[in-house]
Amino acid sequence: MIGIGLYAWRKSTSNSGEYLLGGRQLGPAVTALSAGASDMSGWLLLGLPGALYATGLVEAWIGIGLFIGAFANWIIVAPRLREQTEKLGDSLTIPQFLANRFPDHASILRIVSAVIIVAFFSVYTAAGLVGGGLLFQESFADLFNNVSMSDYMLGIWVTGGVVVGYTMFGGFLAVSLTDFVQGCIMVVALILMPIVILTNDGGWTAANATLTNINPEFLSMTQGLTFLGFVSAVTWGLGYFGQPHIIVRFMAIRSVKDVPIARNIGMIWMGVALLGAIGVGIFGRAYAAQNGIILEKPETIFILLANMLFNPLITGFLLAALLAAIMSTISSQLLVASSSLTEDFYRLFLRKNASETEMVNIGRLCVLAVAIIAAFIASDPESKVLGLVSNAWAGFGAAFGPLILLSLTWKRMTGAGAVAGLIVGAASVAIWIAMGWSSEIYEIVPGFILAFAAIILVSNLTKKS
């Protein structure tokens, strides 16, 4: 990964356009797997299998909702965003695109967008670092006894250090190329592990019998599912429209003509990866029950199976796949947060005439700063990967989702409406979480609806005659 970072440093970091978007020269395969790998993160190998292990197949609705949302994102957002960001002042960041789209509210849009991006990405990046901490805690326990910190914290700092290294120096091209490699590793691991579990577990018949003994409804997709629970699960897909670290890949693809090819590659990759993650959680529960294993942290089922079922060399590959999933998302998030701090704050308010070299160096410092903040957020070993991801996912989905969709498709949208949507979406999610209402319905649902309504209402009230 560091080698790829050095390659990208020599090839594509001479100016902000190269450092932040790779010069808009990504091919369809790299775009597809980069978007997928940066999207799924450690959640795919930790959070989702853990939820399925603990609750049953009913949790698969989250994956179904995500698959539908990702497909809609490729259809609606990808081609329009690639075209319009280049047409509107060659925008390098989402806040810059919004400012160019609504010039009468340019400054406030860039400020509010940057604040939301940095705040939620600090939490989102922390979720990835928690995954790195759990990996070290479970797989390398007591291996570094001479280090004056816990295995968990060591994992956080090692994971963060490697990612910061190649992201700081290689920029967007390094992040995208490493995402491509990491995406390949992840999907191989997710194909391999469910097959091996079943092979060692007596096959599907034995697994089914074991799971039925645990709970006759374990393989039911409606067990205990309420209407609000169903809505909460499938509406995870709404978040795709507003995830800056995913949609920025659409801005960097070589041309609009490459979007359909990238979409097909990306959706096949995602479908296989989600099915593999579901298999790990479900069959992993059967394996644990058959072998009398009690797992205190369901999110570590992938790590447990990797250590118990495979030759040490294969175990190393599987743990590398988990680390790859974690690193791919962290690097993307750090770079997007850094781009907002440099382009939408530093250049806008502090150094309007800063040179390209200066902007690239400031961007590197911002990558480091956001990583340190995220590491402190992640320092609690009781943090839940799925919980942190769900909060940040909802925040971005509600704040930017309706805004991106309508700015690309509705010509009558105004700058005031855009600001209203940003603030209402982010605030409603934050309030919903703070009030503890997330247990009733996922916070992205009210946030997305309220932001969508705010944009339409305020735009109609402020439209020019």
For 171, what's the count of Cα atoms within 13 Å in the CB-facing half-sphere? Answer: 27
Q: CA of 100: how far to CAs of 17, 93, 436, in Å?
A: 16, 11, 37
Note the pLDDT of residue 287.
Answer: 87
Give the three-class secondary structure for 147: coil
Note the pLDDT of residue 454.
Answer: 95
The span from the CA of 306 to the CA of 167, in Å, is: 28
Residue 277 pLDDT exceeds 60: yes
The span from the CA of 449 to the CA of 401, in Å, is: 10
Residue 146 pLDDT exceeds 70: no
* pLDDT-based confidence at residue 452 (cuts at 50, 70, 90): very high
Tens of pLDDT along 235-249? 888 989 988 888 888
Note the pLDDT of residue 410.
Answer: 92
Q: Model pTM?
A: 0.82
The span from the CA of 168 to the CA of 418, in Å, is: 32
More confident residue, 39 or 87: 87
Residue 143 pLDDT exceeds 80: no
The span from the CA of 406 to the CA of 427, in Å, is: 19
Residue 353 pLDDT exceeds 80: no
Note the pLDDT of residue 161.
Answer: 84
Residue 166 pLDDT exceeds 60: yes
Going along 115-232, which residue ranges are E strands? Answer: none
Tens of pLDDT along 374-425? 888 888 766 665 566 778 888 889 999 999 999 999 989 999 999 999 999 9
3-state helix, strand, coil in the chain (%, to 5): 80, 0, 15
More confident residue, 408 or 159: 408
Note the pLDDT of residue 401.
Answer: 92
The span from the CA of 166 to the CA of 428, in Å, is: 36
The span from the CA of 321 to the CA of 139, in Å, is: 14
Note the pLDDT of residue 145.
Answer: 62
The span from the CA of 33 to the CA of 25, in Å, is: 15
The span from the CA of 39 to the CA of 325, in Å, is: 9
Q: CA of 462: how far to CAs of 144, 155, 404, 456, 465, in Å?
A: 61, 51, 19, 10, 9
Are residues 171 and 20 in contact, defined by beta-carbon separation less than 8 angstroms? yes
Residue 445 pLDDT exceeds 80: yes
Tens of pLDDT along 171-217? 666 777 777 777 787 788 888 888 888 887 677 788 888 888 888 88
Of 248, 247, 236, 241, nearest in space to 400 by CA? 241
Note the pLDDT of residue 8.
Answer: 55
Note the pLDDT of residue 266.
Answer: 92
The residue type found at 3 is: G
Residue 255 pLDDT exceeds 70: yes
Residue 12 pLDDT exceeds 70: no
Of 136, 110, 101, nearest in space to 415 by CA? 101
Note the pLDDT of residue 14.
Answer: 54
Tens of pLDDT along 300-340? 888 888 888 888 888 887 887 777 777 777 877 787 788 77
Residue 13 pLDDT exceeds 60: no
Tens of pLDDT along 46-78? 778 888 888 888 888 988 999 999 999 999 999
Across-strand partners of 253?
26
Across-strand partners of 26?
253
Tens of pLDDT along 285-304? 988 888 888 887 888 888 88
Note the pLDDT of residue 267.
Answer: 93
Among the ranges given (8-17, 194-203, 260-269), the one the predictor scored with the smallest mean pLDDT: 8-17
Highest mean pLDDT among 149-163, 168-182, 278-292: 278-292
- Dihedral of alpha carbons 316, 387, 406, 426, sign: negative
DSSP 306-339: HHHHS-HHHHHHHHHHHHHHHHHHHHHHHHHHHH
Note the pLDDT of residue 18.
Answer: 61
Q: What percent of the chain shows pLDDT beyond 90?
A: 19
Number of H helices, E strands in the chain: 19, 0
Mean pLDDT (whole number) for 426-434: 90
Tens of pLDDT along 81-117? 999 988 888 887 888 888 899 988 888 888 888 888 8
